[in-house]
């Protein structure tokens, strides 16, 4: 018996080490070429308070729909949350059914247009049964590819090694009988579905593309996310081909292929430069740019989750060199009708404010049930500004080649339209122009050593949802 236990422990430890750092499937962790373009669109969704009443300004979903409607050759979507599961009693826009209806109608109206949806198994509750709107899509001719996240590295490496050793062989088939962890009215799940869920890995990308343009965003066409605040970029030119190639890699790791669509690429020109970044290369480029920040430079961040230790160190170093650092953070208190404990943003914010002796400024977005969900960093350097935004939170899971992520790096003069719009967006929130958006740091200041210790353990171990 002792020998058996020792053998199992050795195998478990070997799996843990290998799966935590195994080679990535081909085409992941991409740093695209710098592409010159005349312009790039910057879009925002905002929910805020004006005179005590909620105001919703939503632009990103409508822009997704325009890309679908205007496509002549193909529509390619890679969407993390694409479902209608939400808490009881709350009312949300029916984004998932509306987008499914639009895609079905596009197939009926333009049958020559290929439509491919790449998504995460969370949308079928980690089982085999598809939701009704996915079945309608498939029946209309839309190809659906569920990402094989088992091929990715393990973020929750202590648990996942045990799951790979003992559980993955049994699959996820069967009739659900356990309550949904996502909402009281969510589809029931099997025990094997729960065990799969606890790996905490995902295709977290949010991309919509056609042969004409590509949208990269922090927003999901998910009913319960319908009032979240988000950001998006819409790009044209050669970066569209980069997006398609990056998505072909996701299809390939899932055992599928994408058609070889022809994309007309105009000659590169303009003062704006775009670079597609996925997975770990998002952090690589962010750290390179932060390292250039000194006196006279500024860092502005609008972020749902901030926890990555290298990013935290880079922000402190930039502030120590004299850069102005302003952080707009979600207070991490709202999650689809559930209350959260403020981890990771509150203990991280306390660390940054305290260690920088107040040089790093923090304000909280005033959420009321929804989330401040953007993932945007704006770094002003001499002669240019760098924007990095898309699906990736600044966490170990999102930045260390664990989840699938997609962001766009935009480098442009301070006078360019995209920089002016991004700056205006940030200042509007920071200064509470024409509404109540942000709150003083003291409103959610968190000094608890226990909370800080818990955040550090969860960040290191991956035993968390951030």
- DSSP-assigned beta bridge partners for residue 47: 56
State both tokens at 464. 């968390």
pLDDT value at residue 422:
98
pLDDT, one tens digit per residue, over 336-360 is 777 888 999 999 999 999 999 999 9
Question: What is the H or E stretch that residue 406 is in?
Answer: strand 406-412
Residues of the chain below pLDDT 70: 87-89, 172, 174
Question: What is the H or E stretch that residue 411 is in?
Answer: strand 406-412
Collapsed DSSP state (helix, strand, coil) of residue 196: helix
Q: How many CA atoms lie within 13 A of 162 on its CB side?
A: 6
Contacts of 392 (CB under 8 A, 6+ apart): 204, 282, 375, 398, 399, 403, 405, 406, 407
* Among 365, 364, 357, 371, residue whose Cα is nearest residue 445: 364
Contacts of 447 (CB under 8 A, 6+ apart): 350
How deeply is 91 buried, as exposed, middle or buried, from its count of CB atoms within 10 A (0-12, 13-18, 19+)? exposed
DSSP 246-288: HHHHHHHHTT----------PPP-SSEEEEEEETHHHHHHHHH
Q: Is residue 49 a contact partner of residue 200, using CB atoms and an 8 Å limit?
A: no
Q: Give a three-class secondary structure readout of the chain.
A: CHHHHHHHHHHHHHHHHHHHHCCCCCCCCCECCCEEECCCEEEEEEEEEECCEEEEECCHHHHHHHHHHHCCCEEEEEECCCCCCCCCCCCCCCHHHHHHHHHHHHHHHCCCCEEEEEECHHHHCCCCCCCHHHHHHHHHCCEEEECCHHHCCCCCHHHHHHHHHHCHHHCCCCCCCECCCCCCCCCCECHHHHHHHCCCCCECCEEEEECCCEEEECCCCCHHHCCCEEEEEEECCHHHHHHHHHHHHHHHHCCCCCCCCCCCCCCCCCCEEEEEEECHHHHHHHHHHHCCCCCCCEEEEEECCECCHHHHHHHHHHHHCCCEEEEEECCCCEECCEECCCCCHHHHHHHHHHHCCCCEEEEEECCCCCCECCEEEEEEECCEEEEEEECCCECHHHHCCCCECEEEEEEECCCCHHHHHHHHHHHHHHCCCCCECEECHHHHCCCCHHHHHHHHHHHHHCCCCC
pLDDT, one tens digit per residue, over 193-213 is 888 999 999 999 999 999 999
pLDDT value at residue 334:
86
Tokens 């924007």, residue? 387
Collapsed DSSP state (helix, strand, coil) of residue 366: coil
State both tokens at 270. 């303009």
Report which DSSP code applies to 216: E
End-to-end CA distance of the chain: 39
Q: Output phi, psi for 298, to 5 deg.
A: -145, 150
The fold for domain 30-253 equals Endonuclease; Chain A (3.30.870)
The domain over range 275-461 is classified in CATH as 3.40.50.300: no
pLDDT value at residue 89:
62
Domain locations in the chain?
30-253, 275-461
Q: What is the CA radius of gyration of the chain?
A: 22
Cα distance between residue 43 and residue 63, in whole Å: 9
């Amino acid at each position: 018996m002792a020998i058996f236990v020792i053998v199992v422990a050795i195998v478990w430890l070997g799996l843990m080490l290998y799966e935590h750092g195994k080679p990535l499937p081909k085409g992941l962790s991409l740093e695209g070429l710098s592409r010159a373009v005349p312009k790039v669109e910057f879009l925002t969704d905002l929910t805020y308070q004006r005179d005590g009443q909620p105001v919703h300004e939503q632009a990103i979903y409508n822009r997704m729909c325009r890309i679908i409607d205007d496509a002549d050759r193909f529509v390619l979507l890679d969407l993390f949350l694409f479902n209608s599961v939400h808490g009881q009693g709350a009312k949300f826009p029916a984004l998932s059914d509306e987008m499914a209806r639009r895609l079905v109608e596009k197939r009926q109206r333009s049958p020559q247009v290929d439509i491919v949806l790449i998504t995460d198994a969370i949308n079928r509750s980690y089982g085999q049964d598809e939701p009704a709107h996915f079945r309608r899509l498939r029946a209309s001719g839309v190809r659906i590819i569920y990402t094989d996240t088992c091929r990715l590295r393990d973020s929750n490496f202590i648990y996942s090694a045990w799951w790979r050793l003992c559980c993955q062989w049994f699959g996820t088939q069967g009739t659900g009988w356990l309550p949904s962890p996502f909402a009281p009215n969510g589809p029931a799940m099997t025990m094997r579905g729960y065990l799969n869920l606890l790996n905490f890995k995902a295709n977290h990308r949010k991309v919509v593309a056609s042969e004409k343009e590509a949208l990269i965003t922090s927003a999901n066409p998910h009913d319960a996310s319908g009032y979240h605040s988000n950001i998006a970029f819409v790009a044209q030119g050669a970066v569209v081909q980069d997006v398609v190639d990056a998505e072909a890699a996701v299809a390939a790791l899932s055992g599928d292929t994408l058609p070889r669509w022809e994309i007309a690429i105009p000659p590169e020109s303009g003062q704006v430069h775009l670079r597609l970044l996925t997975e770990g290369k998002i952090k690589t480029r962010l750290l390179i740019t932060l390292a250039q920040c000194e006196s006279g430079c500024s860092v502005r961040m609008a972020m749902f989750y901030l926890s990555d230790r290298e990013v935290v160190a880079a922000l402190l170093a930039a502030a120590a060199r004299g850069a102005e650092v302003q952080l707009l953070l979600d207070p991490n208190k709202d999650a689809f009708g559930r209350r959260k404990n403020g981890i990771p943003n509150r203990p991280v914010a306390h660390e940054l404010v305290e260690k920088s002796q107040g040089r790093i400024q923090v304000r909280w977005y005033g959420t009321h049930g929804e989330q401040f969900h953007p993932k945007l960093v704006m770094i002003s350097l001499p002669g240019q500004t760098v924007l990095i935004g898309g699906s990736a939170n600044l966490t170990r899971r999102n930045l260390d080649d664990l989840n699938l992520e997609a962001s766009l790096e935009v480098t442009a003069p301070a006078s360019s339209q995209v920089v002016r719009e991004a700056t205006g967006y940030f200042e509007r929130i920071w200064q509470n122009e024409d509404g109540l958006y942000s709150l003083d740091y003291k409103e959610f200041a968190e000094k608890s050593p226990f909370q800080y210790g818990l955040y550090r353990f969860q960040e290191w171990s991956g035993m968390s949802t951030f």
